[in-house]
Structure 1
């Protein structure tokens, strides 16, 4: 396992880290005991960063973690969680207010049975009505939490990279890390274009979803995936191309993401012990020279030609449309992302 410094923090984190969204039965029904065993195995194999959120299973992921974290030596792991995104019903999904942020941190600490959080992050703040509420309420609330000793560092998460940079420039509160997802993967590696900026600010970078939320798998993404038709087709064709050559696109995608320079860690979420073992095999042993050559071919043949590799704005637009409908009567659920 390789360990990297997270920006200017004192955290040296594993370059492969554990996302706990799957613990909340986000993608399929899960077995809590298997999740516990999976976490123990990950820690024994050198994974030392766990990332979660109240949004994952609406508290379930944190509750599952709370069954095991108190039994573990606190020096073995870092735990990051988030504020701002909560309920499936769209009318109560987001709340970035000062009061709710303070309350959310206390709820997370209680669910996970821990005394402090390593990095407390603002979750998907591109869905906020404006950046001012994040600057004037959410981040000051997290600064208060930090001063109280309930969190050590402050981070932000979002899909659009430009909005991460914009908030960093506007914030009066020191931001220590960013979490970017689906931009450090085979089909879209645009995160690398921004690394110089984050490095200049002393900000650590965590990459998430190296499989692009299921695009880079043989099974393909869920119906709710916001990617357009051309991106979906390119990823599907790439997966078939790998199969025909006796390989698996997810294996190549994992190696691609954890090999990217300057990124402190890449998050992967699974609730299946066998899947964790397969991932750790790639982390510990790498891939063959033939697979590396295939990985390069896939990027060049299927992903480099894409005119647009992003689905930026699609989910936000859908959210505001559904929120408007909900305000006119009836509840609206918003699928996981």
Structure 2
């Protein structure tokens, strides 16, 4: 287990990202979601991340139902604030425009106010059926920076000082504003999705060095870049759009090198994310027990030093990016 910043909160090196069990893109049955979470526990995963955004609360409800069977002191759970869920007057259609295959019975309201933070967290606790969560992130404040820093962040600080939560931070699909949180606030952790992978190392420029310097932790999400690094092929999504031929070619090159060195691209992708000293946990989104088992197996598989040598020689990863093997002189 790894400690988040200077807090008392600890997370497992491999974490469970719960967007998929909120019916991300396609429906997941109750049994399938429960089996995925039970398998995660069996595989030693003890950190679970969720958000109201994921399936309009479905992810939180399913996660809470599964975790209520477990000793509360034995796992860490994080959720997010910034999108309040409100009932709609007349529910029509689904939520697929926002990426989730659920009925559109609620609507999201951006709200990083102090009152909004507390109300959103209270609703999350009700859906989870828990009396506390361990970590709360400001969720995607990209277009709401002023309110997030002026009102949302201080509200999280108060919740932490009151002992309501153990650690606070922000979660985003970018590195720049997360760097500002690390440098200008007293966050314990930031969640950086898709910006520190084998295909995108933007977080290495400022975010990760700043976090290491200031003793903050980073949780990495999107290690597979929307699945491209799990199984690269034409037509897949990368960075919220169809993958370009250039990026696909690079992903296929990485896969070929991995297989030539007797490993898998999935194992290499997870190992790369977890190798930086500022990274406390790598989240993997899974929608089935088989996907969880595979992720745990890949995460535990050592990646040969020769693989990293070749990636550096071909400038496929930056020379200063930490890798698991240290014998690269």
Q: CA RMSD in A?
A: 2.9
**Residues 43 and 77, structure 1, Cα contact 8 Å, conserved in 2:** no
**Residues 116 and 149, structure 1, Cα contact 8 Å, conserved in 2:** no
Q: 5 Å matches for 1:114-129?
A: 114-128=130-144
**Residues 24 and 61, structure 1, Cα contact 8 Å, conserved in 2:** yes
Shift of 1:219: 4.7
Residue 26 (structure 1) aligned to one of 24, 27, 31: 24
Q: Distance in 2 between matches of 1:147 and 1:64?
A: 29
Q: Distance in 1 between matches of 2:59 and 2:221?
A: 17
Shift of 1:35: 1.9
Q: 5 Å matches for 1:280-299?
A: 280-287=296-303, 289=304, 292-294=305-307, 296-298=309-311
Q: Distance in 2 between matches of 1:68 and 1:225?
A: 30
Residue 187 (structure 1) aligned to one of 183, 196, 199: 199
Distance 1:37 1:262, change over 3 A: same
Q: Distance in 2 between matches of 1:218 and 1:70?
A: 34
Q: Distance in 2 between matches of 1:59 and 1:74?
A: 21
Shift of 1:52: 0.7
Q: Name the structure 2 match of 1:17.
A: 15
In proportion to residue count, which structure has more helix?
Answer: 1
Shift of 1:224: 7.1
Which 10-residue stretch deviates more, 81-90 or 41-50?
81-90
Q: Distance in 1 between matches of 2:238 and 2:275?
A: 29
Report how many aligned residue pairs link the two structures. 296
Does the alignment pair 1:225 with 2:240? yes
Does the alignment pair 1:157 with 2:171? yes
In structure 2, stretches of 5+ residues that fail to align are 86-94, 99-106, 319-329
Shift of 1:100: 2.1
The one-character-per-residue Cα deviations of 1:17-52 (angstroms, maximum 9, x if unpaired) are 111111101132212222222222222322111111
Does the alignment pair 1:178 with 2:190? yes
Q: Secondary structure at 2:78's aligned position in 1?
A: strand
Which 10-residue stretch deviates more, 56-65 or 36-45?
36-45
In proportion to residue count, which structure has more strand?
Answer: 2
TM-score, with length taken from structure 1: 0.77
**Residues 187 and 299, structure 1, Cα contact 8 Å, conserved in 2:** no
Q: Distance in 1 between matches of 2:212 and 2:242?
A: 29
In structure 1, stretches of 5+ residues that fail to align are 306-337
Distance 1:230 1:163, change over 3 A: farther
Q: Secondary structure at 1:117's aligned position in 2?
A: coil
Q: 5 Å matches for 1:87-102?
A: 92=108, 94-102=110-118
Q: 5 Å matches for 1:129-278?
A: 131-171=145-185, 174-194=186-206, 195-220=208-233, 221-222=236-237, 225-226=240-241, 229=244, 232-238=247-253, 241=256, 245=260, 248-278=264-294
Residue 36 (structure 1) aligned to one of 18, 34, 37: 34
